[in-house]
Structure 1
């Protein structure tokens, strides 16, 4: 298994040799094997365990197991406790969604610029693909779980559960089992417990076959991603986009990118509505406070947060005029954090950690960012609270497909920073590239 994990890390450029990395540790077979494998491969690991308090004594048992395991291994462990049930009632979201959001939120508080390794396996990827297919999805949905997304890496994503269990058995390493995964009372469990076993009866080499198919779909996904980005580049027209003359599936992916850059994960219905606005005048509400307007064949985004909405696509290179400001991106091929003070380091990003396309835009009323060196997550609106209203509404935000990565006057998000607030770039200084952001 170790060889396969090492090859996956290398293939997807997940980690630099000896890099410090955080492991999301549940105590289950997957996360335990990930912790042991990364440690054995020479990475400087630490772990975070989040107790969801959903399974009573079993949840506490998992936490105890993680504490004992990390103590025995000499691995630093941070344990956090969250009220998932209360959060889900208050926010009216599913237990799965609420648990995932709170889990990542708590883990993020400990990253300090490090990458996060999660233990999703090939089995999880296949399960997610089936789940997406049942609900309806595009090519990216068929590829399942991405190997890398922003600062999150998944070294086990091409490793099967059988290989994981064999690895742990060889080490004599125990793990805990979440009893809720053994009951077919939700869609994912039905797929895992009932559907996949039947597919394995048809094809015992199911996962091997899926790996080959996955490579084909990943290639198709890269092609669509490239074409949709090119469409956005060529279609940009003064604060909006004229998107035409392309295949419908390319247009759809371009619209998904635009929605994500504006802080929205769009439904199929919203994407269909945006397609219509490429051909006719009108306006639709993507979500509270965010709108798409179609006018004379051009679509643009509006928000309640800004009097003068700004939306300019950028490749994080050169100079660009945005409203009354000039935004300058300076590429530094051999970035040395020790040359700069802490305040200056807040204006450097690592372009490899940016997810998808990027834009310069007005801030959105409810979007959040965890700034480098702050140690907590805050809304952009709260950051700008002390700025006069009109100045506030003209403040610039740079965002990728996962949200804000830079706020004018405050600096970069921790997840894309070129180094930690202590000046640690996480690898050999001479091998690090960075982009400095200046607004004047």
Structure 2
């Protein structure tokens, strides 16, 4: 008989789903997913079946697809199938075949779930899978989340077989005479997981025959530790991170007082995709020179006087634009710079606008970010001043410097630090006949 009571108890205890939810089952055709399918069928839940053909095992992969399709048809279940060029994807993204298959299948499962009205995606991972995942994470290096490995529920993914181990599943398959297909690659030691499954786990099981149950208990404890840590980090985040329009600020003195420093600081920066290595580099340079930058996949952190400033990286940023007499506006670093002309000689005092004697312009003009060595004559002054010194006087932060548009004439002279100060050489005079009006606006 199928363990229907245990199955339903686990679903209820872990709050995986309720009877009104529609579930998408990921079914490979192996023992685990076949058992999961029959359990779902027996408890009367509405569900569909999704199968991935990764084109990695030739005729065997096609056999698996045909089996799952036939099984779904025999039980009158909705069936979804897709084919991936997995090796090609792995080569293009410079990742392992296993990582490619994982990325492709999860993205497709979510697409089917969202498009066909399913509430959750059910994966047939069991206690042995959880043990193997923790051991892999420990071998490669991991944080707290890696210690609990796979959880019964995370976002839209549920794992309703985590109350069973591999031996128990095999007994249930045999006792209930359930048909399945065997993936020959499961026996290969070319894959990390299989090495751990066939060599490491049996050795550990000799030491502790209750290995799966012990790991299940440990995983539960680690999950609770992570929950507690996340709650504390959320409190820290609210207290320490100041969110401004130009970035996220953390006072350096607050970082220095964190204890344990590396753990808490890593967790604070985790949402910004900074790796443990980069976090360690930042900590080593807290008392170093201002202006040092650190990169993650999505963000940039800058040590700026008394704070660490975190800003989003924008892959669409263009650091160089040209303006012609017929240019009405250009986008630059999240702002819009417009150009218009007037034969009425008047102006208003506004850092967001520059009123320039048109006869002095040499087109095309250049809009760019500032560079070392830039200098200009600030409006109202007679002598040159380094732009970097002007920024210091105006208390412009280091990360803001790199985002201020600099308008440059065709002869190389700076006309305007957009939003800040015009060059005195280009001001309107009694001989001005036509005015070029530049204005900067936040997009």
TM-score range, shorter chain: 0.5 to 0.7
Aligned to 1:65: 67
Residue 272 of structure 1: CA displacement?
A: 2.2
Unaligned runs of 5+ residues in structure 2 are 318-332, 336-439
Aligned to 2:17: 15
Preserved CA contact (<8 Å) 1:129 1:144: yes
- Secondary structure of 2:296's counterpart equals strand
From 292, 298, 301, the equivalent of 1:292 is 301
Find the aligned partners of 1:274 and 1:64 in 2 and give their Cα distance.
53
Find the aligned partners of 2:187 and 2:234 in 1 and give their Cα distance.
42
Preserved CA contact (<8 Å) 2:10 2:160: yes
Aligned to 2:269: 255
Residue 277 of structure 1: CA displacement?
A: 6.4
Aligned to 1:354: none
Answering whether residue 195 of structure 2 is matched by residue 190 of structure 1, we say yes
Preserved CA contact (<8 Å) 2:52 2:105: yes
Aligned to 2:121: 116
Find the aligned partners of 1:6 and 1:274 in 2 and give their Cα distance.
48
Residue 279 of structure 1: CA displacement?
A: 5.9
Aligned to 1:99: 101
Residue 153 of structure 1: CA displacement?
A: 1.2
Find the aligned partners of 1:269 and 1:81 in 2 and give their Cα distance.
37
Preserved CA contact (<8 Å) 1:27 1:65: yes
Larger Rg: 2
Find the aligned partners of 1:253 and 1:227 in 2 and give their Cα distance.
10
Q: How does 1:36-435 map to 2 (within 5 A)?
A: 36-112=38-114, 113-114=117-118, 115-239=120-244, 240-242=248-250, 244=255, 245-248=258-261, 249-256=263-270, 258-259=271-272, 264=273, 266-276=274-284, 281=290, 282-287=292-297, 290-295=299-304, 296-304=306-314, 305=316, 307=333
Find the aligned partners of 1:298 and 1:118 in 2 and give their Cα distance.
41
- Secondary structure of 2:95's counterpart equals coil
Preserved CA contact (<8 Å) 1:25 1:49: yes
Change (3 A) 1:279 1:230: farther
Unaligned runs of 5+ residues in structure 1 are 310-389, 395-440
Find the aligned partners of 2:74 and 2:286 in 1 and give their Cα distance.
60
Preserved CA contact (<8 Å) 1:129 1:141: yes
Residue 104 of structure 1: CA displacement?
A: 1.7
Q: TM-score normalized by structure 2?
A: 0.64
Preserved CA contact (<8 Å) 1:51 1:63: yes
Note the aligned Cα RMSD (angstroms).
2.3
- State the structure with bigger RCO (CA 8 A, min sep 6), 1 or 2: 1
Q: TM-score normalized by structure 1?
A: 0.65
| Matched length | 306
Aligned to 2:34: 32
- Secondary structure of 1:109's counterpart equals helix
Find the aligned partners of 2:281 and 2:67 in 1 and give their Cα distance.
49
Residue 278 of structure 1: CA displacement?
A: 6.0
Indicate the larger mover: 138-147 or 210-219. 210-219
Residue 55 of structure 1: CA displacement?
A: 0.5
Find the aligned partners of 1:278 and 1:13 in 2 and give their Cα distance.
44
Find the aligned partners of 2:142 and 2:61 in 1 and give their Cα distance.
34
